[in-house]
Structure 1
Amino acid sequence: MTGPPDLIRAAGCVLWRRAPGPGGLEVCLVHRPKYDDWSHPKGKLKQGESPLAAAVREVGEETGHHCVPGPPLPTAHYRTGGRPKVVHYWAAEATHGHFTPNREVDRIRWLPPAEARARLTQLRDRELLDALLTTLHRVDGA
């Protein structure tokens, strides 16, 4: 990967699971008390770590859930603290796990897509949710 020397590299997942009822899908959002926001699980890459490995690790650390990564989703590019940031995302199906609140993430919510979309703080996270739904729709062939 190339980029400016001050580039922040991160990765995450739009975590989903099958659910009973209309739509049959729930999305996991994380609440970060430091920013008082709702977003998808994500975090910075460790030295020598691939973006996909970082995304799966961050899901586990932030949500307590294991996941099976699926198709890539759009990459987010933005500035934070005056520095450029790139975040690679994947769709990921939750398999099992249990959330334990921590300093970085104090709450998670499993929500139907429309409720998740309304709760997400950033527009770019809403766009990722839309991309997930489009991707899953294509995969299911519906």
Structure 2
Amino acid sequence: MSSSNDIPVQAAGCVLWRRSPMDGELELCLVHRPKYDDWSHPKGKLKRDEDARTCAVREVAEETGYTARLGARLPTLRYPAQGRPKEVHYWAAEAVSGAFTSNDEVDRILWLPPTAARNRLTQPRDRTLVDALLAALHLT
């Protein structure tokens, strides 16, 4: 018999990108979460009766202040988190409008070129999403 600890926590997020206002080059948005002191892609847990796509867009807005236009589906990451399995569903997403305001969850964001973003990400598993985004945007 399985316990509720065996059921994966469902979450969703985006690899948020834009064209640099300075030179038109690709930039990715990373969020800094003071609770964990880490750099990651914007993501969060699904609310009751919420689908992953809706969650991904909501989390981007909450954590970055930007409106995201979802693009290609990216790999789902699976890993243990606080003693439970977790599944995070990701999409490529273009930032179409908005501006960042510091909040309880995220105190800073960075817009970085892909190589710098890959190097800044705290978790190695998140780095694979940078490569997946580049492939989805046909930039590899």
- Whether 1:95 aligns to 2:96 is yes
TM-score of the superposed pair, with normalisation by structure 2: 0.92
Aligned residue in 2 for 1:107: 108
In structure 1, what is the Cα distance between the partners aligned to 2:102 and 2:54?
Answer: 22
Question: How far has the Cα of 1:25 moved from its partner?
Answer: 0.3
Aligned residue in 2 for 1:62: 63
* One-letter amino acid of the structure 1 residue matched with residue 60 of structure 2: V
In structure 2, what is the Cα distance between the partners aligned to 1:4 and 1:71?
Answer: 34
| Superposition map of 1:64-79 within 5 A | 64-79=65-80
| Aligned-CA RMSD value | 1.7
Identity %: 63
How many residue pairs match? The answer is: 136
In structure 2, what is the Cα distance between the partners aligned to 1:42 and 1:35?
Answer: 14
Aligned residue in 1 for 2:15: 14
SS of equivalent residue, structure 1 residue 131 = helix
In structure 1, what is the Cα distance between the partners aligned to 2:71 and 2:36?
Answer: 28
- Whether 1:80 aligns to 2:81 is yes
Question: How far has the Cα of 1:137 moved from its partner?
Answer: 1.0
Question: How far has the Cα of 1:103 moved from its partner?
Answer: 1.1
- Whether 1:39 aligns to 2:40 is yes
TM-score of the superposed pair, with normalisation by structure 1: 0.91
